[in-house]
């Protein structure tokens, strides 16, 4: 690779695009590389905060900041939608017809919600008795619906995987249990969690633990349910979700996590993505299979890891090293191991931590260090960790800071021996 001045273009200024740009800027002086970040809007939503909005535990205004302000000095910000990428001639085509040339491209355009792909989901009853909390508008509307829900069947339904933060729907169930208990209405609300999986979660140890927690809290679990149609119209009998094999679950209030896909421009970019428009990359180096000077990070990738901010952060450490190695003509390092961790809010001011990678679940250890709770154990400390994470996100994770002693900016279990 030529070691002259390089043009690095990063598509997406969400979690992955922002932390990558900031880390790269601190590694590469401005005379060596121009860094340009492109995003279609200037509203950076702290997505983990969406879980708390429906329960009145977060104000929608408090979880949004301007994207451009999260980028360090010396990084160009361009507010434009990407139309497509032509990896054959190193060009990004933007929606206004202009183009951007790159020497290295990093795709960080996340995952999009595809509610229109499920029959009836956005039809009658949408945003009246059928909601999602996976975007700011939906989470805000759901807050009003929960506050006025006097009783009946509350169904939380994951249509299909992959989804962002696969534990968030379970956290929603636990918080709903807490919310209605606090308001003295729990006996009047039946909560049912409906999932296409054969258990509460993808990873077996966590799944067993989470299933028994659902049972303890009186939350019904319906598994292997592949939602085909949502009937939200009260004129057509009781509102219900219906699976492809014609099972039904009635609801009075449905909270649906729609099908996810990659950004649509990926599908318009020859060779860049898979059938769901996720960018195909080597799962350990994060280099695209379309071209060696293209990389991807975060929810945009096809890697078999959770679509989570923690994963995006751990990927960022490997990705930035590999982009610098690529620019310097060195071999890439196959170091991303699928590491994911997340505090799971379990209600009543408690949370627990899960921590796993591609091969091992759970990773051994306690968090933080030896004084913390073992993995998969509920504690108030974990709940505080979950709440503090918002501060951490804006001030440590996005700026790309390392915490001395932790080695990375996210909690990492399995560090007991250090
Ligand atoms: C309800 C909820 C709760 C969550 N809770 C947690 C949690 O507790 N812990 C955790 O680790 N993770 C959590 N996550 C997941 C986490 O927020 C995401 O995994 C993470 O933000 C992914 O970062 P990203 O950079 O890949 O995508 P994003 O941050 O979504 O950024 C993608 C960017 O690409 C831009 N973009 C897309 N298409 C185009 C285009 N055509 N042109 C220009 N720009 C484009 C978008 O505008 C966006 O800014 C949660 C997510 C949700 C929805």
Write the pLDDT tens digit of every residue in 152-183: 999 999 999 999 999 999 999 999 999 999 99
Q: Which of 260, 276, 297 is the last residue of a domain?
A: 260
- Tell me the pTM: 0.95
Domain holding 159: CATH number?
3.50.50.60
The verdict on 322 and 353 lying in the same domain is no
Q: Could you tell me the sign of the dihedral formed by the alpha carbons of 246, 249, 253, 255, in that order?
A: negative
Domain that holds residue 148: 123-260
Nearest Cα residue to 305 out of 261, 338, 344: 338
Rounded to whole angstroms, the Cα distance separating 161 from 158 reads 8
Mean pLDDT of the chain: 93
The verdict on 148 and 249 lying in the same domain is yes
Strand partners for 257: 158
How far is CA 250 from each of CA 144, 152, 190, 329, rounded to the nearest angstrom? Answer: 21, 10, 11, 59
The verdict on 147 and 242 lying in the same domain is yes
Q: What is the mean pLDDT of residues 88-100?
A: 98
The verdict on 57 and 99 lying in the same domain is yes
Nearest Cα residue to 399 out of 8, 69, 111: 69
76 Cβ neighbours under 8 A, 6+ residues apart: 34, 35, 36, 37
Residue 368 above 70 pLDDT?
Answer: no
Residue 364 above 80 pLDDT?
Answer: no
User: Does a structural domain hold residue 415?
Assistant: no
Q: Which of 236, 260, 284 is the last residue of a domain?
A: 260
The verdict on 212 and 276 lying in the same domain is no
394: tokens are 């804006």
Binding pocket residue ranges, ligand 1, CB within 6 Å: 12-17, 38-41, 47-48, 50-51, 81-82, 108-110, 133-134, 164-165, 168, 263, 265, 298-300, 307-310, 312, 342
Residue 330: what pLDDT? 97
User: Does a structural domain hold residue 380?
Assistant: yes
* First-last CA distance in the chain: 38
Strand partners for 37: 10, 77
Is residue 343 within 8 A of residue 389, CB to CB? The reply is: yes
User: Cα 127 from chain centroid?
Assistant: 22
Residue 376 above 80 pLDDT?
Answer: no
Nearest Cα residue to 219 out of 157, 177, 158: 177
Residue 401: what pLDDT? 87
The verdict on 96 and 127 lying in the same domain is no
Strand partners for 268: none
Rounded to whole angstroms, the Cα distance separating 121 from 379 reads 37
Is residue 369 within 8 A of residue 416, CB to CB? The reply is: yes
Point out the ligand 1 atom lying closest to the alpha carbon of residue 264: 41
Window from 18-22, 77-81, 259-263, 406-410 with minimum mean pLDDT: 406-410
Write the pLDDT tens digit of every residue in 228-283: 999 998 887 999 999 999 999 999 999 999 999 999 999 999 999 999 999 999 99
Share of the chain above pLDDT 90, in %: 88
Name the band, by pLDDT with cuts 50, 70 and 90, for residue 372.
low
Q: Which of 207, 231, 260 is the last residue of a domain?
A: 260
Q: How much distance in Å is there from the Cα of 112 to the middle of ligand 1?
A: 9
Strand partners for 190: 153
Residue 409: what pLDDT? 44
Is residue 382 within 8 A of residue 346, CB to CB? The reply is: no
Mutational pocket test of ligand 1: of 309, 319, 390, 396, the residue with most ligand atoms within 8 Å of the beta carbon: 309
Residue 414 above 50 pLDDT?
Answer: no
CA-nearest residue for atom 44, ligand 1, is 39
The verdict on 165 and 186 lying in the same domain is yes
309-327 vs 15-27: helix crossing angle, rounded to 10: 40
Tell the residue number behind the tokens 């659902």, with chain if given.
214
Residue 3: what pLDDT? 62
Tell me the three state secondary structure of residue 132: coil
Residue 417 above 60 pLDDT?
Answer: no
User: Does a structural domain hold residue 148?
Assistant: yes
Write the pLDDT tens digit of every residue in 304-338: 999 999 999 999 999 999 999 999 999 999 999 99
The verdict on 277 and 222 lying in the same domain is no
Nearest Cα residue to 227 out of 207, 211, 248, 250: 248
Rounded to whole angstroms, the Cα distance separating 411 from 393 reads 12
CA-nearest residue for atom 27, ligand 1, is 110
Rounded to whole angstroms, the Cα distance separating 255 from 410 reads 29
Q: How much distance in Å is there from the Cα of 321 to the middle of ligand 1?
A: 22
Residue 196 above 90 pLDDT?
Answer: yes
E strand or H helix at 225, and its extent?
none
Name the band, by pLDDT with cuts 50, 70 and 90, for residue 2.
low
Tell the residue number behind the tokens 């929603």, with chain if given.
172
User: Does a structural domain hold residue 348?
Assistant: yes
Q: What is the mean pLDDT of residues 30-56?
A: 98
Q: Is 89 exposed, middle or buried (0-12, 13-18, 19+ CB in 10 A)?
A: exposed
246 Cβ neighbours under 8 A, 6+ residues apart: none
Rounded to whole angstroms, the Cα distance separating 254 from 126 reads 9
Residue 362: what pLDDT? 84
Domain count, the chain: 3
């Amino acid at each position: 690779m030529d070691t002259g001045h390089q043009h690095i273009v990063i598509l997406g200024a969400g979690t992955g695009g922002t932390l990558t740009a900031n880390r790269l800027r601190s590694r590469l002086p401005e005379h060596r590389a121009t860094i340009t970040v492109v995003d279609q809007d200037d509203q950076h939503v702290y997505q983990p905060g969406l879980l708390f909005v429906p329960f009145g535990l977060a104000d929608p205004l408090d979880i949004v900041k301007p994207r451009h302000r999260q980028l360090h000095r010396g990084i160009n910000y361009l507010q434009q939608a990407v139309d497509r990428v032509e990896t054959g001639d190193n060009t990004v085509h933007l929606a206004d017809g202009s183009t951007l040339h790159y020497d290295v491209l990093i795709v960080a355009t996340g995952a999009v919600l595809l509610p229109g792909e499920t029959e009836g989901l956005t039809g009658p009853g949408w945003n009246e008795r059928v909601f999602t909390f996976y975007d700011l508008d939906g989470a805000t509307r759901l807050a009003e619906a929960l506050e006025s829900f006097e009783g009946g069947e509350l169904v939380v339904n994951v249509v299909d995987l992959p989804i962002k933060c696969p534990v968030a729907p379970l956290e929603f169930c636990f918080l709903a249990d807490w919310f209605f208990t606090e308001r003295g209405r729990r006996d009047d609300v039946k909560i049912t969690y409906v999932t296409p999986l054969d258990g509460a979660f993808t990873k077996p140890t966590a799944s067993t633990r989470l299933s028994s927690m659902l049972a303890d809290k009186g939350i019904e679990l319906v598994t292997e349910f592949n939602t085909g149609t949502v009937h939200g119209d009260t004129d057509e009998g009781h509102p219900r979700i219906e699976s492809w094999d014609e099972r039904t679950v009635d609801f009075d209030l449905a909270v649906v996590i729609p099908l996810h896909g990659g950004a649509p421009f990926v599908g318009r970019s020859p060779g860049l993505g898979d059938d769901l428009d996720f960018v195909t990359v080597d799962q350990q180096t994060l280099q695209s299979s379309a071209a060696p000077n293209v990389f991807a990070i975060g929810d945009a990738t096809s890697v078999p890891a959770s679509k989570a901010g923690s994963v995006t952060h751990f990927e960022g450490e490997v990705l930035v090293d590999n982009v610098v190695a690529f620019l310097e003509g060195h071999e890439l390092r196959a170091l991303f191991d699928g590491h994911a961790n997340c505090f799971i809010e379990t209600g009543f001011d408690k949370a627990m931590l899960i921590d796993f990678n591609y091969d091992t679940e759970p990773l051994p250890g306690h968090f933080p260090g030896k004084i913390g709770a073992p993995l998969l154990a509920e504690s108030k400390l974990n709940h505080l960790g979950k709440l503090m994470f918002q501060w951490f996100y804006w001030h440590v994770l996005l700026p790309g800071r390392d915490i001395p002693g932790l080695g990375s900016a996210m909690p990492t279990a399995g560090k007991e021996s250090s």
